[in-house]
Amino acid sequence: MSQEQTYANAGFGRAVPRGTRPGIIVVDFSYGFTDPRYPTASDARAQMANTRRLCDALRAKGFPVVFSTIAFHPGEVDKLPWLKKSAGMAALIQGSRLVEIDAATGIQPGDAIVVKKGASSFFGSTLGALLTGAGVDTLIVAGATTSGCVRATVVDAVQSGFNVLVPRDCCADRAQAPHDANLYDMQQKYADVTDSEDILAWIGALAART
């Protein structure tokens, strides 16, 4: 029996219903994750360009665009267990360039930014309240890294009651193997893994939010 048949027999991989009120969370496309001068970064230029197109299309129709960034207070660095495991992240200090959203994303002054201390963009942040207040029923998740903060955000999004879409060409990781494996697993269990062209076509068919 093939891997695909094994998952299908178990009832995984069903299509995610799409609503009429999308929003996007762009996970951690901050300089600390996108500028190769920093050891925590990966090359995300193509993924940011694709994400920018999605954000522009959503804004044009009045749908919410939200960014997340990881930013620690210096006093937190020696107290958080995550930073003992992932010590390189300790450089993401609030007020530094590393935690600023990369301008290549096309971020606009009206876009919300949530600051987080963990992997998921929902954990300990206002993201859930922002999306609920904006009436979002289908959440697009893009950003970095696919196997880390994107995946954690996708899982929490489903658990928070959102239908989830993940455009694979808008997600970046430091290595191909974890990128591919996590996209596959998210497709089977939590989200529809698609691409930016598919999502742009769907957004284009939606009525503008009034």
Paired strand residues for 68 = 27, 114
Paired strand residues for 2 = none
Catalytic residue among 55, 149, 170, 171: 149
Q: What is the DSSP letter of 98?
A: G
Indicate if 149 belongs to the active site: yes
Q: Are 26 and 67 in contact (CB under 8 A)?
A: yes
* Cβ-based neighbours of 123, under 8 Å, separated by 6 or more: 116, 117, 152, 156
Paired strand residues for 161 = none
**To which residue do tokens 């494996």 refer?**
181
The catalytic site residues sit at 149
